[in-house]
Protein backbone atom coordinates (compact mmCIF):
# COMPACT_ATOMS: atom_id res chain seq x y z
CA UNK A 1 0.00 0.00 0.00
CA UNK A 2 1.23 3.48 -0.80
CA UNK A 3 0.38 6.55 1.15
CA UNK A 4 1.16 10.13 0.23
CA UNK A 5 2.26 12.41 3.00
CA UNK A 6 3.25 16.06 2.92
CA UNK A 7 6.25 17.37 4.79
CA UNK A 8 7.58 20.87 4.98
CA UNK A 9 11.26 20.86 4.10
CA UNK A 10 13.45 23.90 4.53
CA UNK A 11 16.22 24.09 2.00
CA UNK A 12 19.12 26.44 1.57
CA UNK A 13 20.37 26.90 -1.96
CA UNK A 14 23.79 28.43 -2.42
CA UNK A 15 24.21 30.43 -5.59
CA UNK A 16 27.66 31.45 -6.71
CA UNK A 17 27.97 35.01 -7.96
CA UNK A 18 31.03 36.33 -9.74
CA UNK A 19 32.19 39.94 -9.48
CA UNK A 20 35.03 41.72 -11.22
CA UNK A 21 37.90 42.02 -8.75
CA UNK A 22 38.80 45.44 -10.17
CA UNK A 23 35.53 47.36 -10.63
CA UNK A 24 33.04 45.15 -8.79
CA UNK A 25 30.81 44.60 -11.85
CA UNK A 26 28.63 41.50 -11.40
CA UNK A 27 28.63 38.78 -14.05
CA UNK A 28 25.14 38.11 -15.38
CA UNK A 29 25.39 34.32 -14.98
CA UNK A 30 27.81 32.20 -13.06
CA UNK A 31 28.50 28.53 -12.70
CA UNK A 32 31.35 26.72 -11.05
CA UNK A 33 33.41 26.69 -14.22
CA UNK A 34 32.26 29.73 -16.15
CA UNK A 35 30.96 33.28 -15.86
CA UNK A 36 29.12 35.31 -18.46
CA UNK A 37 29.56 39.08 -18.45
CA UNK A 38 26.84 39.71 -21.05
CA UNK A 39 24.10 42.03 -19.85
CA UNK A 40 21.42 40.57 -22.11
CA UNK A 41 21.31 36.75 -22.22
CA UNK A 42 19.87 36.95 -25.76
CA UNK A 43 22.99 38.82 -26.88
CA UNK A 44 24.75 36.81 -29.59
CA UNK A 45 28.14 38.15 -28.54
CA UNK A 46 29.95 36.23 -25.85
CA UNK A 47 32.92 36.43 -23.61
CA UNK A 48 34.73 33.50 -22.19
CA UNK A 49 35.64 33.47 -18.56
CA UNK A 50 38.11 36.24 -17.94
CA UNK A 51 40.05 34.69 -15.10
CA UNK A 52 43.71 34.62 -14.24
CA UNK A 53 44.81 31.60 -12.22
CA UNK A 54 48.12 30.61 -10.65
CA UNK A 55 48.36 27.06 -9.31
CA UNK A 56 51.37 26.03 -7.24
CA UNK A 57 51.84 22.69 -5.54
CA UNK A 58 53.22 19.21 -5.93
CA UNK A 59 52.04 16.20 -7.87
CA UNK A 60 52.84 12.56 -7.18
CA UNK A 61 51.59 9.25 -8.56
CA UNK A 62 49.35 8.70 -5.54
CA UNK A 63 48.03 12.27 -5.39
CA UNK A 64 49.10 15.79 -4.72
CA UNK A 65 48.02 19.23 -3.68
CA UNK A 66 48.10 22.78 -4.91
CA UNK A 67 47.26 26.28 -3.86
CA UNK A 68 45.31 28.40 -6.29
CA UNK A 69 45.26 32.17 -6.63
CA UNK A 70 42.47 33.36 -8.95
CA UNK A 71 41.35 36.77 -10.17
CA UNK A 72 38.05 37.41 -12.00
CA UNK A 73 38.13 40.35 -14.40
CA UNK A 74 35.25 41.71 -16.50
CA UNK A 75 35.95 42.26 -20.22
CA UNK A 76 35.92 46.06 -19.82
CA UNK A 77 38.63 46.03 -17.12
CA UNK A 78 40.54 43.36 -19.05
CA UNK A 79 40.69 45.60 -22.13
CA UNK A 80 40.89 49.03 -20.49
CA UNK A 81 43.07 48.32 -17.42
CA UNK A 82 44.91 45.01 -17.62
CA UNK A 83 46.01 45.14 -21.28
CA UNK A 84 47.42 48.70 -21.03
CA UNK A 85 49.27 47.76 -17.82
CA UNK A 86 50.72 44.63 -19.44
CA UNK A 87 51.84 46.69 -22.44
CA UNK A 88 53.51 49.17 -20.08
CA UNK A 89 55.46 46.22 -18.65
CA UNK A 90 56.74 45.29 -22.13
CA UNK A 91 54.32 42.46 -22.90
CA UNK A 92 53.51 42.02 -26.58
CA UNK A 93 49.79 41.31 -26.78
CA UNK A 94 48.73 38.75 -29.37
CA UNK A 95 45.35 39.29 -30.97
CA UNK A 96 43.77 37.06 -33.59
CA UNK A 97 40.42 36.76 -35.29
CA UNK A 98 38.75 33.38 -35.57
CA UNK A 99 35.98 32.49 -38.04
CA UNK A 100 34.06 29.28 -37.63
Write down the domain spans for the chain. Answer: 29-88
* Residue 19 bridge partners (DSSP): 26
Across the 100 residues of the chain, what is the mean pLDDT of every consecutive 10-residue run?
Answer: 74 80 80 59 60 89 92 87 95 89
Note the pTM of the prediction, 2 decimals: 0.65
- For position 100, what pLDDT does the model report? 81
79 to 19, 74, 85, 95: CA distances (angstroms):
16, 9, 10, 12
Amino acid sequence: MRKTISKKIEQTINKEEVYCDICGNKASMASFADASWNVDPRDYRFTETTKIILKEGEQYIEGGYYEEIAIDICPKCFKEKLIPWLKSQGVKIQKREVDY
